[in-house]
C-alpha cells in the first residue's frame, strides 16, 4: 500500500480516499468520511469550489513563491493541518505521524483536544508550529490543565472552537454502531466483527496498540483521563460563550484563534474579544447541516475584520486549486482535515506526506498557470466575477 501511495497511483486526494476505504473498516472510514444528518453541508463545501472560475494572466514569468506567515510563523505553503479527534483510530501513530509529516512539509498542525496521544508526545515528535485546539469538556479545571500543558510544551497558538455546543447528528456513525465500538460493553461490538476481520492489518495494529486508550489530554479531577465514549456527553455540558474568552486570555499569553466563524457579525465579535485570527469553518459539515459552504462565507468575514486579524478557512479543500481560490478571497492560509486524514488512513505517515506533496504540487502548478508570482499577490481579480 505504501508503495502505491508514493507511486503514480495516488495522484490526487480522491485516490487517497479510495485507498483509505480499502484499508479501514467501514465504521472507521465513515467516521472520517461522513458528515451530519443528510450531509448537505459536507457536499456543499466541495461543490462550492467547483462553481468558482479563475481569470488567469498569461505570458508572465513561470516562477512563483508560495511561502507565507501565519501569526508570525513561516510555513512553506499556505496550509495548516486541522484538528481531527482521535486519529489513533485511523492509524496507531495518529497525531505523532501527522506531526512528523507536517514538520517534513514545513507547515503547522492544530492538535485536537481529543487527540489519542499526549500533547507532550506530539510536541516531541515535531519541529513544526503547533497550536492546541481547546474544548471545555471536563469543566474549567480540566480545560485549565490542558491550557497549562500546551503552554509548557511550547504550543504557540490556542484554537477555541465555538460551533460545538452539542455533537452533530452523524447518521453514518449511528447506523454503523460507532458508539458501541467506543463503549466498554463487549457484546455490542460483535456486530462489527465481520468488517474488522475483512481488514486484518488494521485490526492487528489496533489490537497491538491496546484498543481504545482514554483521552490523555482531558484529565477529570478525581477521575483521571476521560474515556473516549464520554466525548458526546462531555460536549453537551461544555458550550463555549464569548464570556469564556476573558478567563482564557488570563491563562494563555499567546494568540487565540476562534474557529467556527461563518458571519461577519461573529467575526467582529471575535476581534472585539481579542482574537488574533479567525477560522471560517462549518466544522467540515460535521455539525449543523445546511449551513453555508465555508468558501461562500469567507468574503463576508474578510470584509468584516478589515485586516485587523488574520483570516483562515477550512472545509471542502481537496485540491491545490481550492487553496488558491481561498487565498484569492482573502484567506491567509487554509486548514485541511479529511485531505490529510485520507492519507493517514491509506498508509499512515507516508500517506499524510503524500497528501501534502500532492497539494503542494497542485498549488505550485495552479499558481504558474494562473500567472500569479506570489501568494501575497493573490486577490479577487484572479476570480471571474460572474462565478461567485
**Cα–Cα–Cα angle for 207, 213, 217, nearest 5°?**
145
DSSP 125: T
Smallest CA-to-CA distance from 130 within 215, 70, 67 is with: 70
State the chain's mean pLDDT as an integer. 91
Determine the pLDDT at residue 231. 72
Q: What is the mean pLDDT of residues 190-204?
A: 85
Cα torsion through 142, 145, 151, 154, rounded to 10? -90
The pLDDT score that the predictor gives to residue 271 is 97
Q: Give the pLDDT score at 226.
A: 79
The helix/strand/coil state of 68 is: strand
264 to 60, 229, 258, 306, 311: CA distances (angstroms): 36, 35, 13, 10, 12
Per-residue model confidence (pLDDT) at position 40? 97
| Average pLDDT estimate for 316-328 | 98
Give the pLDDT score at 2. Answer: 55
Cell of 230: 464520554
**Cell, residue 109:** 498542525
Residues 102-121 pLDDT 10s: 999 999 999 999 999 999 99
pLDDT tens sequence across 365-388: 999 999 998 999 999 999 998 766
Q: How do residues 240-258 score in pLDDT, each as one tens digit?
A: 889 999 999 999 999 999 9
Range in 30-44, 87-101, 192-206, 294-308 with the lowest mean pLDDT: 192-206
Catalytic residue numbers? Answer: 283
Distance CA 78, CA 141 (A): 35
Q: Which residue has the higher pLDDT, 194 or 269?
A: 269
d(CA 109, CA 194) in angstroms, rounded, equals 35
**Degrees, nearest 5: CA angle 348-102-227:** 60
Q: What is the pLDDT of residues 331-370, one digit of tens each?
A: 999 999 999 999 999 999 999 999 999 999 999 999 999 9
Task: State the DSSP H helix or E strand holding residue 310, giving kind and residue range, or none if neither.
Answer: strand 310-314
Cell digits of residue 290: 445546511
Angle between the N-to-C axes of helices 294-305 and 320-328, in degrees from 0 to 180, rounded to the nearest 10: 30
What is the structure's pLDDT at 193? 79
pLDDT at 77 over 50: yes
Sorted by sequence, the CB contacts under 8 Å of residue 4 that are 6+ apart come out as 10, 19, 347
Lowest mean pLDDT among 151-155, 204-208, 326-330: 204-208
Cα angle for residues 274, 231, 18 (degrees, 5° grid): 95
Q: Tell me how far apart the alpha carbons of residues 157 and 133 are, in angstroms, rounded to a whole number.
A: 8
Alpha-carbon 41 to chain mean position = 16
pLDDT of 362 = 97
The domain locations on the chain are: 2-387
The CATH superfamily of 2-387 is: Aldolase class I (3.20.20.70)
**pLDDT value for 238:** 74
Q: Which residue has the cell 484567506?
A: 331
- What are the two backbone dihedrals, phi and then psi, of residue 14, each rounded to the nearest 5 degrees? -60, -35
- Diameter of the chain by CA atoms? 67
Question: What would the pLDDT profile of 215-241 be if each residue is shown by its tens digit?
Answer: 888 888 778 887 776 776 667 667 888
pLDDT at residue 20, rounded to an integer? 97
Q: To which residue does cell 455546543 refer?
A: 165
Residue 95 makes CB contacts below 8 A (sequence gap 6+) with 87, 88, 111, 112, 115, 116, 117, 122
pLDDT, tens only, 4-41: 555 457 899 999 999 999 999 999 999 999 999 999 99
Count of Cβ atoms closer than 10 Å to residue 172 Cβ: 17
Amino acid at each position: 500500500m505504501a508503495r502505491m501511495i508514493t507511486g503514480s497511483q495516488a495522484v490526487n486526494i480522491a485516490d487517497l480516499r479510495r485507498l483509505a476505504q480499502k484499508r479501514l473498516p467501514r465504521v472507521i472510514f465513515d467516521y472520517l468520511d461522513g458528515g451530519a444528518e443528510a450531509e448537505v453541508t459536507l457536499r456543499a463545501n466541495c461543490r462550492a469550489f467547483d462553481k468558482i472560475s479563475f481569470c488567469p494572466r498569461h505570458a508572465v514569468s513561470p516562477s512563483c513563491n508560495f511561502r507565507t506567515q501565519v501569526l508570525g510563523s513561516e510555513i512553506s505553503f499556505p496550509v495548516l493541518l486541522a484538528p481531527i479527534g482521535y486519529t489513533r483510530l485511523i492509524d496507531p501513530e495518529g497525531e505523532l505521524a501527522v506531526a512528523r509529516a507536517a514538520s517534513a512539509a514545513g507547515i503547522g498542525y492544530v492538535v485536537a483536544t481529543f487527540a489519542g496521544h499526549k500533547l507532550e508526545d506530539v510536541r516531541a515528535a515535531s519541529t513544526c508550529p503547533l497550536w492546541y485546539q481547546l474544548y471545555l469538556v471536563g469543566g474549567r479545571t480540566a480545560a485549565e490543565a490542558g491550557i497549562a500543558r500546551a503552554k509548557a510544551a511550547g504550543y504557540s497558538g490556542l484554537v477555541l472552537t465555538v460551533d460545538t455546543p452539542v455533537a452533530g447528528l452523524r447518521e453514518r456513525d449511528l447506523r454503523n454502531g460507532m458508539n458501541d465500538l467506543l463503549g466498554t460493553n463487549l457484546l455490542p461490538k460483535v456486530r462489527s466483527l465481520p468488517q474488522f476481520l475483512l481488514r486484518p492489518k488494521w485490526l492487528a495494529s489496533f489490537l497491538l496498540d491496546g484498543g481504545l486508550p482514554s483521552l490523555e489530554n482531558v484529565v477529570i479531577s478525581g477521575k483521571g483521563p476521560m474515556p473516549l465514549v464520554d466525548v458526546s456527553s462531555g460536549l453537551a455540558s461544555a458550550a463555549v460563550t464569548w464570556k469564556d474568552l476573558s478567563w482564557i486570555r488570563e491563562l494563555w499569553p499567546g494568540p487565540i484563534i476562534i474557529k467556527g466563524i461563518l458571519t461577519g457579525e461573529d467575526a467582529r465579535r471575535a476581534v472585539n474579544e481579542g482574537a488574533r485570527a479567525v477560522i471560517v469553518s462549518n466544522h467540515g459539515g460535521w455539525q449543523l447541516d445546511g449551513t453555508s459552504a465555508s468558501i461562500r462565507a469567507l468574503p463576508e468575514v474578510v470584509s468584516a475584520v478589515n485586516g485587523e486579524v488574520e483570516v483562515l478557512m477550512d472545509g471542502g479543500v481537496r485540491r491545490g486549486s481550492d487553496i488558491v481560490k481561498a487565498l484569492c478571497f482573502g484567506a491567509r492560509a487554509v486548514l485541511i482535515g479529511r485531505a490529510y486524514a485520507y492519507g493517514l488512513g491509506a498508509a499512515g505517515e507516508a500517506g499524510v506526506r503524500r497528501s501534502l506533496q500532492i497539494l503542494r504540487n497542485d498549488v505550485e502548478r495552479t499558481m504558474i498557470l494562473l500567472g500569479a508570482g506570489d501568494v501575497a499577490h493573490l486577490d479577487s481579480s484572479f476570480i471571474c466575477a460572474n462565478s461567485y
